[in-house]
Copies of this chain bind each other. A is one copy, B any other.
Amino acid sequence: MSTARNPETLAWAYVSTVVQGPSRAVEQLIASRGVVDAAATMRTGDVPKAVWDRVSARAHLDTAAAGLDLMAAMDGRLVVPSDEEWPAWRFLGFERPDGALPTRDGGAPLALWVVGPAPVAPSTERAVAVVGTRAATSYGEHVTGEIAGDLAVDGWTVVSGGAYGIDGAAHRAALGVGGCTVAVLACGVDRAYPAGHERLLRRVSETGAVVSEYPPGTPPARYRFLSRNRLVAALCDGVVVVEAGWRSGARNTASWARALGRPVMAVPGPVTSASSTGCHRMIREGEARLVTGARDVVAEAGAVGAGVEDDDDRDALFGRDLDRLPQTPARVLDAFPASGARTVQQLSVDSGVPVSAVRSALVVLEIEGHAGRDETGWVRVDKVR
């Protein structure tokens, strides 16, 4: 039995449940009709073909209310783009207009199911992902503990995937020093997966956050792990791979990080250890920078702007001209008057972009030289094209 609730929240829960993962087409439908209307039409099939192809198999599902009830029972919540804790900035890299990222799996999540006291946006504002093989050696677990522990002590949130091996060691190290850690799952947040990490994930949810873009009840599946990896890469300022076999899922996370402009780092190990071959390969191929400890990690990930500190990266992500600005910063830029200053709140109202996302967009616009601050607020500084 579902408690009375906000029709928008129910609509988001329905959309998340029937879409299962990112969808540019669904995003566009919601942007144009609002989520309540979008959900209603998705149910009836009165939607563009691209949307229907994606949702038809699950459109009849009516588990949204039950999912929200379960969340409420777990003291969790559904976080949606209009929420203050929505980490809009974290997903800007997915808005690349050149389509370099795969549309089907590469978009921003539509919504996030979250259990835990840490609000997503603030807690991942300074975050490092520490990931690696499930087949970790004692060396790998030790080094993970050192790096993740030192980062957490230093105030960095440790993001990982909740898996056995390196992931688990990373979460444990952050918890061990009273730091913040976020586990991004490839299944519903109500599922303890892997089963042996039930207690660990509960501890993460008591002080940090357990996050998934899949609704409660969703079982893990291979494609969901790959999709989950993109969220791990998105929700941090850099990815550290501690141990990885030659073909490791951690390399997939690293690829996402590179696509998103996040620094990728790898910890070397004995060349006699199969569990380090993936790390050595990434370093050798120039895919990852060698790091030996938290200090090296901070040097890489600590640059302002989530890894977009150098011109090449910035160009790759955003391009050099206005036409190639990501959607959200472009919208915020459009909300500026031809002259005069605006506050973040005014820009939010004028652009329809949430305050937290406006703040993120302003960082981009400032880096790109389109906006700046004076004593009265934010001003547009570039020439109008």
Contacts and interface: CB of A to CB of B under 8 A. Distances in A.
A270 B271 contact: no
Contacts of A293: 271
Contacts of A334: none
A269 B276 CA distance: 10
Q: Of A268, A272, A296, which is in contact with the most chain B CB atoms at under 10 Å from its CB?
A: A268
Interface string A270-291: 1110001100100110000111
A137 to B, nearest CB: 10
Contact of A290 (B142, B283, B292): B283
A281 to B, nearest CB: 9
Interface string A322-335: 00000000000000
A142 B270 CA distance: 11
A139 B292 contact: no
B270 A139 contact: yes
A270 B267 CA distance: 9
A55 interface: no
Given A290-B290, A292-B280, A269 B267 contact: no
A68 B272 CA distance: 47
Contacts of A276: 268
Contact of A284 (B269, B277, B280, B296): B296
A149 to B, nearest CB: 14
A270 B272 contact: no
A283 B271 contact: no
A275 to B, nearest CB: 12
Contacts of A142: 272
Interface in A227-277: 267-272, 276-277
Contacts of A290: 268, 280, 283-284, 290
Nearest to A273: B270
A143 B139 CA distance: 18
Nearest to A279: B268
Contacts of A280: 268, 290, 292
A327 to B, nearest CB: 36
Contacts of A269: 268-271
Contacts of A296: 284
Contacts of A271: 143, 267-269, 292-293
Interface string A142-167: 11000000000000000000000000
A92 to B, nearest CB: 29
Interface of A: 139, 142-143, 267-272, 276-277, 280, 283-284, 289-293, 296
